[in-house]
Structure formats: C-alpha cells, structure tokens
Structure 1
Amino acid sequence: MLGLSHRIGLLLLSVVFSITACAVQTPAVPGAVSDTYFGMHLHRAVVPQPWLPDGERLTPWPEAKFGSWRLWDAYVAWPNLEPQKGKWQFATLDKYVAMAQLAGVEVLLPLGLSPPWASARPSETSSYKPGNAAEPRDIEDWRNYVRTVATRYKGRIRAYEIWNEPNLKGFYTGTPEKLLELSRVAYETLKAVDPAITIVSPAVTGDGRHPEWLDHYLALGGGQYADVIAYHFYVPRQAPEAMLPVIAKVQHIMRKHNQDHKPLWNTETGWRIANKTITQRIGAAGENWSNLDDAQAAAYVARALVLGWAAGVQRFYWYAWDNVDMGLIDPADKSLKPAGAAYGRVREWMLGATFAGCNEDGSLWVCTLIRADGKPARIVWRTGGEALWQVPAAWQALTLETLAGDVRTFDGQQVVMLGQFPVLVR
C-alpha cells in the first residue's frame, strides 16, 4: 500500500547502517499517551459546503479514531452563533456536541471572531467576513457571548480556546493588550460558569519565525488566564522533524514566563496533500506550501504524531479530516487517503504507551516506548532515503509492523530496508 511492505524482506550483502551516537535526543515523557492526544478538525460533519457537487457535501464520521475535536472552520464561531445581537443560532453546535458525546470525544471550542454588529471595525477586511478580525467594540457583548455559550454547554464542552491565530491580521487586528483583556474576561466568565472548564491560550501560529507574539503576550501576563498554552506548529515546506526546534522555542518562552508547568497543545497542524481529481483551492494551495503525494503524506502524518508527543506536546489536532487542501480523505469520493490510514495506525501503536525518548543520528530516527502491554517497542524511520538497516541484536526484536499493517516475523535475519515510513519494531 505504501511501497514499503514489499521491500522489507530484502536481504542484501551490501553495507548496512546501525545505531551509533545520537545527534538529537528528546527526553523521556512522563505519562502514557492518551486518546485525547489524537485531535481532529471536521468541516462538513453538519454544514455542507455548497461548492462541492451534490452528494459530496457532507462528511461521514471519520474512519480513523480520535479523542478530541477542535471546532474551527466548522461554522460555530461567534458570528455564526449570534449573527444579530441577542439572536442565537445553536442548531449546528448542538449537533456537533451530540455527535461528540456519541463518539466519546472531547470538544475544544475556539472563542472569537467578532460579528459585524459587535465589531470595533465592522468594515475592516478579514480572512472571513468584514469586521470579523477586529476585537469587539463593547466588552460586555463579549462577556455575554462567552457566558451564554458556556452555560448552554456546561459539562459537555470541556475546553475553550481564546481566539485563533491572533498573530495573523486575517484573524485578529487588535493589540495583544486588547486580547489580554478579552482573555481575562473570558477566563473569569468561564470559571464562574464551571471551574472545571479548561481554558486554552490564544493559539499563535508560525514555523518559529513568529514566537515574539507569544513572548510578548505572556510578558503582559497572559499566562494567568490560561490553563493550557496553545501553538500551531505548521512547517508547510518542511518535514515533521522541523517541528522540533519550533516546539523547543515555544517551550523556552513558556519557561521564561513561568508557564512551563502547563500543558502545551498543538491545536492545529497539517500539510497540503494532493487529491485524485479536485484541485486545491486557496490558502494552503499557495506557493509557500509543498504538495505532498500519498506516500510522503502518510510518512509525514505518522512522524508528526510520534515526534509531537516525544517533544512534550500533549494534544495534536490535525487540520483537517475533510479539508480540500490538507484532508485525510479525498474530497471527491471521501475515500481514505494513505495519510488517513497512517493516522489510525500510529494511534494504535502509541495509545497507552510511555515514551522513553527519540534519538536521531544523521537520518536515522529511533523512538523508544513501553507499550500498554508493558513490553518495549521502537518506532523507526529514515529521512535521507531508503537504506538497509541492521536491527540491533540487543533489542531482541521478534516482529516488524509497517504503516500498511503488514507484519514480518524475524527468523534470525534482522536486516531490513528502511525509509521515510515509520515501522514498529517489537
């Protein structure tokens, strides 16, 4: 399926590589991998997208299992819920919450985007409709919005995120100081409704070139109004390994402002993935994004999920299951892409496991974990092209499993062809 399983049985007499001193190493991560680590976005679970052909507008519930669901670009932002002052429209969000409860997944609802009627600058351009990126003109409108939503979904929506990507003008044109005020009011209001609610900081985005926004926001005192720090670890033209220095930068900023005791969530990440027939539209289809083929996308999804947890990220929300640019299913026929299958496979490998860290030597990556059954295992891949690899005898490995689900039993020969696709050795 992924072009690897038919090769792993090859035993050649040429030079093979093995593990030596490590150039990069992530520390052990306390605690087992939880189901909520595996997050997702869905665009068309309830609201159809009219530009798609009839019969293709709604998305069936994903085949790949996940434990948390972020409702962004899902038609439930403030302008959708309260298009006119005091006129509430909860039908779509009601359906989402019911679906989440049925599937046993936790909901994360981003708060924000100002309706034109509440916007401080209602005619200002945004990535959505005019006025959406401005802060609300009257803080009491914001307070009422937060209170109304939190009260309606008390005990059912467990986490709220304060605004999406405020460092980008298409999403937010106010000042960090104004967002600090919005965060304070939201925090106080949410905790008054339900102290158990988890409040997530404004989710800054960038490949590491823009950490100063988060640095400034936390310097203002933003951390006191968040239980979790959020970041969007996009590296659109790079491999997943490029996330690691970005994560390290964010963690440094958290330590600098005494926020490193709080969880770090990656509330949005994805890569542009080619489709069978429908051409990508806007945004991620821009020239600043790579366009991954099926094989590369499967490898990237798998490695990103493994490395995110190994680096200390406690949630990882893929953007998005049914996105036409970055989807894990094909938008034309809703068939599962290899990247979607890889998401599900790696979840099976990781769920309930404890990570002892990842080691990198050149192009070889080895992530060591103790699985839920108490037995050690390693997730292994190469970033520099395929090469033969000698499985260390000290591992006492019995089997190797590919992303395609193929399992090879070792019979004394432990030399395999290894490439960009992670394999599970145990």
Structure 2
Amino acid sequence: MADWENYIRTVVTRYKGKIKYYELWNEPRFREVDPYRATAGFTGTAKQMVEMGTIVKRVLNEIDPDAKLVSPAFDARMLGLKRLKAWLDAGGGKISDVIAYHIYATPPEEIPAVVKALRNLVNQYGLNHLEIWNTESGFLVESPDKEVKPMGGAVFAEVLSVERYAAFTSRSLILGAASGLGRYYWYSWDIPGMALTTGKGARLTAAGHAYIKTERWLRDATINECRTADEKLWICTLSRGGRQARLVWNTTGPRDWMVPSQWQARQYETLPGKVTNIKSAGPFRVDESPVLILSDDQAWGTP
C-alpha cells in the first residue's frame, strides 16, 4: 500500500483547501459479491478497499482535516446494495463521511424505492447521520453529435427523445430530493448520448433547460410528500415560506385530470417556462413532463 499512500499524499497536498470531498472509488466490484465480474477497475475484496480508504482518511486528517471522505460509489440499482453491504461489513462505515451511490433508475419513479433500501441498509449499521449522495445518474438520449444505440439492460434499453429526456431529468431531480438524497450529480453535461447540451457543451437542450427549471422549483423549498394512487399520476407538494405549490405529472403520457378544488389553483408553469392562468374548474391536461401548479399569481422562486 506504500504506492497508494504516496499517491494520496501527493494529491491531497496539492489540492489542500481546494477539494472538499474525495470519493474513494468508482463502481468497484468486490470478489465477495462479484467473483466472476471483478476483472476490471478494482478487482480486490471489500476488506482491501477499506484498508485503502483507511489510508485516505488518515492522510486527510493529517494534511487537510476539513476534507471529507465519500465512500466508493456503488451501482447497478439493487445489486449495488450487496456491494455496499460488503463495504459496511468490512468496516467501511467507520471511515465514510458520506455514502455514495449511482442511481441509474428507469423510469425515475424507481428512485424512491432504491433510496429507501439504501437508507434502511445504512441505518442498520448505526449510520443514520450520514447523507446519501447520488454521485452519477442519467439516461440515453438521441444526439445530433453522434449515433446513439441502446446498450442493453433495463436502464439503457431505450434511447429517449430530447423531450422525454427532459421529462425524465426533471422527475429524477424531484424524486431524488423527495427521497432525501443529500446531493444529485447528473451524468452528463456534454458527453453525446447522455448530455444536457449539444455542440460539446455549447448549447443547452430542452433537457438542460428542464434541469435548470427544476432546480429553481426545488431551491429553498421543502417537499412535504410525493404520492401516487395508481403508479401513473404523481403529485408532489412543496412549501416555501408560507406558500404551497404542487408538481404534477403522468408517467404514461397525456391525461385529463381534475385539479382538486381545495387547491384554489390560479396558474401553472411548464418546464419550458410558460406560465398559464387556470381559468376554469374543467379537466386539466397533464403528461410525462412535470408542471408546477400555484395557488397564487406570484412567481415561484427566482430565475
């Protein structure tokens, strides 16, 4: 481990005071869990990974004690829980300041179940105080910069249109926040086939604008609940100060729906930013893209 410690000391010394969080490893495969898949990247055991993390934690405490150690980022939806458990069984929770996970979930409505399972597992080890971060997540999307093909598996079995990608992006951020994730890192900004932009980051797509709009909707707001009665129509209730708003979408496409009269809805805002008054108590058309429904005429948040 001498070479590893020398590398860590070099990095931490160089970036002291600049890097606040160090994620230990990207998507490791442990021999205890993946005996036939631990052939690339990290190919050792969870115990060895904890030994490496212990060195990192010690070096951080010596050189840059304000910096935090983020656990290895586990992946593959529910299968990743076995890898996280192996890490925790080997003592990894004792050196982790944050638990990292790559929540690739299609459709986004799977996110709450994944986060619930993560939180339940982490809490079993007395780590209720640790935040869980989604440090990588995204979907395949059509791109003018390259041909994009399905990659197999449930997560990447479909290449989304830009419009659906925008809807999936927004719903992912909403449900991630509602599920209690401390942070949500999107993959990616400019890599064709998963990007929020085109032209190597030069121009925002509809998905990029949806990301920004959803961040504005959620900023400084509390999500009181997200619920669905039929696994299709979702309603999330937000509060900010003394105001309330609702985010509504339907996972199966266009649907006529009655806005509850007790909401006293006055206007709604779409992901592209169009604001429309709600003038009647008739049916309201919702679809895969979340809309923000307000009970007053004020803007929700700042641009």
Structure 1 and Structure 2 fold alike (TM over 0.5): yes
Give me the whole-angstrom Cα distance separating, in 1, the residues matched to 2:202 and 2:159: 19
Contact 1:323–1:331, Cα closer than 8 Å, also in 2: no
Give me the whole-angstrom Cα distance separating, in 2, the residues matched to 1:207 and 1:266: 11
SS of equivalent residue, structure 1 residue 318 = coil
SS of equivalent residue, structure 2 residue 65 = coil
Give me the whole-angstrom Cα distance separating, in 1, the residues matched to 2:61 and 2:264: 51
Question: 2:28 corresponds to which letter in structure 1?
Answer: P
Matched, 1:278 2:140: no
Give me the whole-angstrom Cα distance separating, in 2, the residues matched to 1:331 and 1:174: 39
2:276 corresponding residue in structure 1: 408
Shift of 1:195: 1.9
The runs of 5 or more residues in structure 2 that have no matched partner are 30-36, 295-303
Give me the whole-angstrom Cα distance separating, in 2, the residues matched to 1:243 and 1:171: 26
Among 75, 80, 84, the alignment partner of 1:214 is 84
Determine what percentage of the aligned residue pairs are the same residue: 37
Give me the whole-angstrom Cα distance separating, in 2, the residues matched to 1:269 and 1:392: 34
SS of equivalent residue, structure 1 residue 270 = coil
Give me the whole-angstrom Cα distance separating, in 2, the residues matched to 1:196 and 1:398: 47
Query: What RMSD, in angstroms, separates the aligned Cα atoms of the two structures?
Result: 1.7
1:156 corresponding residue in structure 2: 18
Matched, 1:187 2:49: no
How do residues 217-366 of structure 1 correspond to structure 2 at under 5 angstroms?
A: 217-235=87-105, 238-280=106-148, 285-288=150-153, 289=156, 290-331=158-199, 334-362=202-230, 363-366=232-235
Give me the whole-angstrom Cα distance separating, in 2, the residues matched to 1:302 and 1:317: 13
Question: 1:286 corresponds to which letter in structure 2?
Answer: M
Matched, 1:178 2:48: yes
Give the TM-score normalised by structure 2.
Answer: 0.88
Question: 2:264 corresponds to which letter in structure 1?
Answer: Q
Residues 334 and 196 of structure 1, relative CA distance in 2, 3 Å threshold: same
Among 198, 207, 224, the alignment partner of 2:68 is 198
Residues 318 and 254 of structure 1, relative CA distance in 2, 3 Å threshold: same
Higher share of residues assigned helix: 2
The runs of 5 or more residues in structure 1 that have no matched partner are 1-138
Contact 2:237–2:246, Cα closer than 8 Å, also in 1: yes
Q: Deviations over 1:74-97 (max 9, x none)?
A: xxxxxxxxxxxxxxxxxxxxxxxx
Question: 1:408 corresponds to which letter in structure 2?
Answer: T
Shift of 1:331: 4.1
Q: Deviations over 1:281-311 (max 9, x none)?
A: 8xxx522312111111011000000000100
SS of equivalent residue, structure 2 residue 77 = coil
Shift of 1:333: 8.1
Give me the whole-angstrom Cα distance separating, in 1, the residues matched to 2:274 and 2:283: 16
Give me the whole-angstrom Cα distance separating, in 2, the residues matched to 1:425 and 1:287: 37
Q: Deviations over 1:320-374 (max 9, x none)?
A: 1011221111247843211111101101101111111111111111111113x54
Give me the whole-angstrom Cα distance separating, in 2, the residues matched to 1:388 and 1:380: 12
Give me the whole-angstrom Cα distance separating, in 2, the residues matched to 1:403 and 1:352: 18
SS of equivalent residue, structure 2 residue 185 = strand
Q: Deviations over 1:161-202 (max 9, x none)?
A: 101101264321111111010000001111221221121001
Give me the whole-angstrom Cα distance separating, in 1, the residues matched to 2:26 and 2:152: 23
Shift of 1:209: 2.5
Give me the whole-angstrom Cα distance separating, in 2, the residues matched to 1:213 and 1:364: 33
1:381 corresponding residue in structure 2: 249
Give me the whole-angstrom Cα distance separating, in 2, the residues matched to 1:315 and 1:333: 22
With CA pairs under 8 Å and 6+ residues apart, which has the higher RCO, 1 or 2? 1
Give me the whole-angstrom Cα distance separating, in 1, the residues matched to 2:257 and 2:109: 20
For this pair of structures, how many residues does the alignment match? 282
SS of equivalent residue, structure 2 residue 79 = coil
SS of equivalent residue, structure 1 residue 381 = strand
SS of equivalent residue, structure 1 residue 323 = coil
Matched, 1:147 2:9: yes
Q: Deviations over 1:198-228 (max 9, x none)?
A: 2100110112123111111101110011110
Contact 2:189–2:201, Cα closer than 8 Å, also in 1: no
How do residues 3-22 of structure 1 correspond to structure 2 at under 5 angstroms?
A: none
